[in-house]
């Protein structure tokens, strides 16, 4: 399950962080600090999302 989660995390974290960065840029936060904070939040938020999606996938297989 860890290998699947690692693969999914690389895709989910990029998508979530990218979406949050785009949202921050459209709200006018276009300096370095807000973009770094938002991207860090995106990578941290992606951990439980990845865990949940991995659990859903593995429960369907078994």
Q: Which domain holds residue 22?
A: 1-57
> What's this model's pTM, rounded to 2 decimal places?
0.86
pLDDT of residue 61: 77
4 in a structural domain = yes
Note the pLDDT tens digit of each residue in 42-51: 999 999 999 9
How buried is 51 (Cβ within 10 angstroms: 0-12 exposed, 13-18 middle, 19+ buried)? middle
36 in a structural domain = yes
pLDDT of residue 62: 63
62 in a structural domain = no
Average pLDDT rounded to a whole number, residues 13-33 = 97
CA–CA separation, 12 and 20 (whole Å): 12
């Amino acid at each position: 399950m860890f290998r699947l989660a690692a693969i999914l995390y690389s895709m989910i974290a990029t998508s979530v962080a990218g979406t949050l960065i785009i949202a921050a840029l459209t709200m006018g936060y276009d300096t370095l600090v807000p973009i770094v904070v938002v991207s860090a939040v995106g990578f941290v938020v992606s951990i439980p999302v990845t865990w949940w999606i991995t659990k859903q996938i593995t429960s369907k297989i078994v």
